């Protein structure tokens, strides 16, 4: 019997690596497979995470009737999250990155001081962490808190870590995380780092992404690759907060400054992000208009990243928020119809994709 079992066991052992390799190959949906859009956002009154779905990229419906799908006090050290960004990674998983910050934590009873540290030394907000999350189905999530100030000794004195976003670096074959950061009370800049395969730690010390040539802060960067070009939109604080655009041949260097505004607002806005319309040579730029009451999102559309057509605000033109209001800091990705339907069904949202 032993002589018969031994070859069989050997064959199984030899086949196991092949099986593992076959199982590790993940089919990533392409644009032709897409049939819906997912928006993530947050609200100041709850500091929680929200999601909204759309069939056409114009009209968005909150999946949980304008209630948080994840409460900030369940995942963040400061008991609140801001600035959500979602990304479909090459491993087939969805990654979420968020700012670990509650701006009303003193009023909510989460701390006894206005901020965690003295505003004179560290400025407004002065948080030090990011929340990182992963999911294979947009429903069940794991999470970890990344304390940026503890990752490297030279980061111990950071004044903030805000608005994290992600993009896949096709050269390094790694997820690149980039976020707004300042040291002490200096002006904010955007820095980039590369993440480990588990999306829990930084593998490289953060470096400045873009040397802004003006004596002003810039925050909330978003990178979109179109062809062989990388398009960077960000909120400039040069003469009031507004949206500017820079272009590079590289994901993490060489962005060329252009002072032209690409938003259509007369008051302060921030948090720009871009999504592509499915099957069209059109991209939509969204930004958070925080200087109007109530705050709202503004939209512009482009086919060439030179000319931007104003689409107006939510519920003032073609762009609609069907069951929610006063959203903050948006981000939109494409989903397959199956993914969107599964998410809608999970939250008992009556939508068919």
pLDDT, tens digit (0-9, with 9 covering 90-100), for 240-253: 999 999 999 999 99
User: In whole angstroms, what is the distance from residue 112 CA to residue 107 CA?
Assistant: 9
The predicted model gives 198-204 an average pLDDT of: 97
For residue 165, the model assigns a pLDDT of 98
Backbone phi, then psi, for 244, in 5-degree steps?
Answer: -125, 170
Beta bridge partners of 98: 131
Alpha helices, DSSP H, located in the chain: 2-24, 105-108, 119-122, 148-151, 337-346
Specify burial of residue 98 (Cβ count, 10 A radius: 0-12, 13-18, 19+).
Answer: buried
The model's confidence at residue 260, banded by pLDDT at 50, 70 and 90, is very high
* SS3 (DSSP) at 216: coil
Q: What predicted TM-score, i.e. pTM, was given to this entire model?
A: 0.92
Backbone phi, then psi, for 149, in 5-degree steps?
Answer: -65, -20
For residue 305, the model assigns a pLDDT of 97
The model's confidence at residue 27, banded by pLDDT at 50, 70 and 90, is confident
The predicted model gives 312-328 an average pLDDT of: 97
The model's confidence at residue 11, banded by pLDDT at 50, 70 and 90, is very low
Residue 15, pLDDT above cutoff 60:
no
- Terminal CA-to-CA distance of the chain, rounded, Å? 57
For residue 170, the model assigns a pLDDT of 96
User: In whole angstroms, what is the distance from residue 43 CA to residue 49 CA?
Assistant: 8
Residue 7, pLDDT above cutoff 80:
no
H-run or E-run covering 38 = strand 34-42
Which sign does the torsion angle of CA 47, 53, 54, 60 carry?
negative
Q: What is the mean pLDDT of the chain?
A: 93
For the chain, percent of residues with pLDDT exceeding 90: 92
CATH topology of domain 36-346: Tachylectin-2; Chain A (2.115.10)
Residue 60, pLDDT above cutoff 90:
yes
351 touches 344 (CB < 8 A): yes
Residue 8, pLDDT above cutoff 90:
no
For the chain, percent of residues with pLDDT exceeding 70: 93
Residue 133, pLDDT above cutoff 60:
yes
Residue 167, pLDDT above cutoff 90:
yes
Specify burial of residue 163 (Cβ count, 10 A radius: 0-12, 13-18, 19+).
Answer: buried
User: In whole angstroms, what is the distance from residue 222 CA to residue 245 CA?
Assistant: 10
For residue 250, the model assigns a pLDDT of 98
The predicted model gives 80-84 an average pLDDT of: 98
For residue 254, the model assigns a pLDDT of 98
The predicted model gives 318-329 an average pLDDT of: 98
User: In whole angstroms, what is the distance from residue 178 CA to residue 220 CA?
Assistant: 9
């Amino acid at each position: 019997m032993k002589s018969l079992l031994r070859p069989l066991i050997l064959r199984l052992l030899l086949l196991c690596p092949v099986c593992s390799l076959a199982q590790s190959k993940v089919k990533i949906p392409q644009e032709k497979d897409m049939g819906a859009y997912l928006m993530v956002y947050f609200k100041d009154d709850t500091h929680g995470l929200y999601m909204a779905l759309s069939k056409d990229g114009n009209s968005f419906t909150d999946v949980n009737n304008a209630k948080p799908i994840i409460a900030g006090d369940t995942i963040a050290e400061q008991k609140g999250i801001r600035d959500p960004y979602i990304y479909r990674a090459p491993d087939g998983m969805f990654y979420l990155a968020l700012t670990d910050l509650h701006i009303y934590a003193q009023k909510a009873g989460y701390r006894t001081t206005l901020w965690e540290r003295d505003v004179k030394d560290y400025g407004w907000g002065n948080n030090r962490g990011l929340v990182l999350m992963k999911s294979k189905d947009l429903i069940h999530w794991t999470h970890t808190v990344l304390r940026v100030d503890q990752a490297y000794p030279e980061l111990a004195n950071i004044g903030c870590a805000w608005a994290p976003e992600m993009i896949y670096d096709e050269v390094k074959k790694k997820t690149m995380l980039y976020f707004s950061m300042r040291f002490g009370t200096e002006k904010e800049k955007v820095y980039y780092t590369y993440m480990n395969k588990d999306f829990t730690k930084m593998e490289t010390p953060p470096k400045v992404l873009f040397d802004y040539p003006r004596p002003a802060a810039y925050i909330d960067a978003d990178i979109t690759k179109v062809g062989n070009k990388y398009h960077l939109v960000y909120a400039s604080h040069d003469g009031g907060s507004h949206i500017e655009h820079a272009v590079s041949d590289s994901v993490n260097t060489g962005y060329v400054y252009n002072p032209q505004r690409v938003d259509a607002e007369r008051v302060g806005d921030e948090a720009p992000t871009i999504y592509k319309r499915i099957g069209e040579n059109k991209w939509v730029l969204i930004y958070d208009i925080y200087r109007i009451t109530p705050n709202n999102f503004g939209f512009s559309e482009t086919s060439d990243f030179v000319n931007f057509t104003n689409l107006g605000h939510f519920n003032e033109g073609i762009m609609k928020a069907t069951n929610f209001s006063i959203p903050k800091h948006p981000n939109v990705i494409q989903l397959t119809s199956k993914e969107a339907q599964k998410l809608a069904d999970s939250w008992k949202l009556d939508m068919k994709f």
